[in-house]
Structure 1
Amino acid sequence: MVVQGFTVDLNKALVFQVGHLGDAYQEWVHQPIVCTEGPRFFDNEILEFLTKTAWWVIPVTWLPFVCYFITKSISLGHTPLQVASMVVAGIFVWTLIEYTLHRFLFHIKTRSYWGNTMHYLLHGCHHKHPMDGLRLVFPPAATAILLFPFWNLVKLISTPTTQPGLFGGGLLGYVLYDITHYYLHHAQPSQEVLKNLKKYHLNHHFRIQNRGFGITSSFWDKVFGTLPTTKSADKQR
């Protein structure tokens, strides 16, 4: 594809190409290529391997930590019912973080070489190749880095004995988010709720990409006024 005199060669490693698109990057990255075979990111085999994560790696990696933090709050004197409420609160906090990251970080507007490159690695690749199953969930190493500020955030709003339970709930929320996200792209749900959620998310990818930032629900889109318009409303404009 030729944009502003630069040709993106889809048959070559993409990561160090996309930065050259400059102002045209945003338009290019939001023109999805629907193909289950993902593109090559790097020429280096090790770097290429590190960009790929199977969906099942997420629960296998993080659910043991979820169990540890939840039981930690119980060992610090809280009842199972109290810890259950911490977990629910943690999941709720995560849904706001999920929305905020998706709206303000994952969809940040970039134009510089390194800005475009980093955005493509973070989220742009998912919009360009939305059916790439090995680059849909977050690699555990990247998640581990993000958990440090999340731990400190939970510390600010909790006590030493409730912090593990809240953090465990937030981490569980993240696990549910990532596997739900994978499910919405690659499964054919039969239940109405999941059918609607899949339609809602694919609408974000293929029709109106600057709205509908919720993944596990549309709750925060309703709160902050970023619900996608309906097709009928679009026709009336």
Structure 2
Amino acid sequence: MVAQNFEVDLKKPLVFQVGHLGEAYEEWVHQPILSKEGPRFFKSDFMEFLTRTVWWAVPTIWLPVVCYSISVSARKGLAPSHVVLLVVLGLFIWTLTEYTLHRFLFHVKTSSYWANTLHYLIHGCHHKHPMDSLRLVFPPAATAILLVPFWNLIKLSSTPSTAPALLGGLLLGYVMYDCTHYYLHHGQPKSNAPKNLKKYHLNHHYRIQNKGFGITSPLWDTIFGTLLPSLAGGAKSS
């Protein structure tokens, strides 16, 4: 049962508190705290360790897997041009995956105890503490678990020689996504394109959180009508 008028104690581990907010969770989680120091999630030091990831762990761990996957398709006799096309297709599939996950899973509305708790772990924590540098990228262990169903789906929909290159492209898209996401929060872009992308993403956080789901590109926001008004109308956001 949800406690009435429950208030989260930010000095205590948060994960098992937020579920008690019930229907108030949606409003609470979208009121950001801009401290660069992240909150404690769990009382257990081991569980807490699993929730924190430095950004460079993502390319360090997964780029070798990308290269290996692509090389498998090449060793199976595919022409270099064919391998490149499969990698590009995998990248394209990732952009839609990124948008779909962000819009329909990361921003699902919850109110029950366990739904709130799970949502906070997946994405709510990022909106509550958007400058927490150690929780901006996905923990490698969780990525490995999620990779299993993606790999099985790719194997079902392609051939033994094309599947590894497709996986490599998909995984490369993920690495680009996570590194881009980190940069949009902590980088200081100098040229117009990354400046606009950073502005676009921060507007999603601090102005209109039910639009602007694209991280690496606003392509699917444009196609599905969730483009932030600043881009849809052509005006610069403040």
Task: Sort the TM-score into its range (normalised by shorter chain).
Answer: over 0.9
Q: Which amino acid aligns with 1:114?
A: W
Q: Deviation string for 1:176-230 (max 9, x for gaps)?
A: 0000000000001011110010001001000000000000000000111111123
CA deviation after TM superposition for structure 1 residue 126, in Å: 0.1
Separation in 1 of the partners of 2:232 and 2:185?
A: 25
The answer as to 2:136 corresponding to 1:132 is: no
Cα distance change, pair 231–219 in 1 and its aligned pair in 2 (3 A): closer
In the other structure, the counterpart of 1:53 is 53
Q: Are the aligned partners of 1:23 and 1:111 in contact in 2 as well (CA < 8 Å)?
A: yes
The answer as to 2:120 corresponding to 1:120 is: yes
CA deviation after TM superposition for structure 1 residue 11, in Å: 1.0
Correspondences of 1:142-221 after superposition (within 5 Å) = 142-221=142-221
In the other structure, the counterpart of 1:101 is 101
Cα distance change, pair 201–231 in 1 and its aligned pair in 2 (3 A): closer
Separation in 2 of the partners of 1:232 and 1:179?
A: 26
Cα distance change, pair 90–127 in 1 and its aligned pair in 2 (3 A): same
Cα distance change, pair 84–130 in 1 and its aligned pair in 2 (3 A): same
TM-score normalised per structure 1: 0.94
Separation in 2 of the partners of 1:231 and 1:166?
A: 32
Q: Secondary structure at the match of 2:188?
A: coil
Alpha-carbon RMSD across the aligned residues, in angstroms, is 1.5
In the other structure, the counterpart of 2:23 is 23
CA deviation after TM superposition for structure 1 residue 62, in Å: 0.5
Cα distance change, pair 212–4 in 1 and its aligned pair in 2 (3 A): farther
Q: Are the aligned partners of 1:181 and 1:216 in contact in 2 as well (CA < 8 Å)?
A: yes
Higher deviation after alignment, 100-109 or 150-159: 150-159
The answer as to 2:74 corresponding to 1:70 is: no
Identity %: 68
In the other structure, the counterpart of 2:236 is none
- Residue-pair matches, total: 231
In the other structure, the counterpart of 2:79 is 79
Q: Secondary structure at the match of 1:7?
A: coil
Q: Which amino acid aligns with 1:132?
A: D
TM-score normalised per structure 2: 0.94
Higher deviation after alignment, 131-140 or 79-88: 79-88
CA deviation after TM superposition for structure 1 residue 106, in Å: 0.5
In the other structure, the counterpart of 1:32 is 32
Q: Secondary structure at the match of 1:138?
A: coil
CA deviation after TM superposition for structure 1 residue 158, in Å: 1.9
Q: Which runs of 4+ in 1 moved over 4 A?
A: none
Q: Secondary structure at the match of 2:43?
A: coil
Q: Which runs of 5 or more residues in structure 2 are unaligned?
A: 234-238
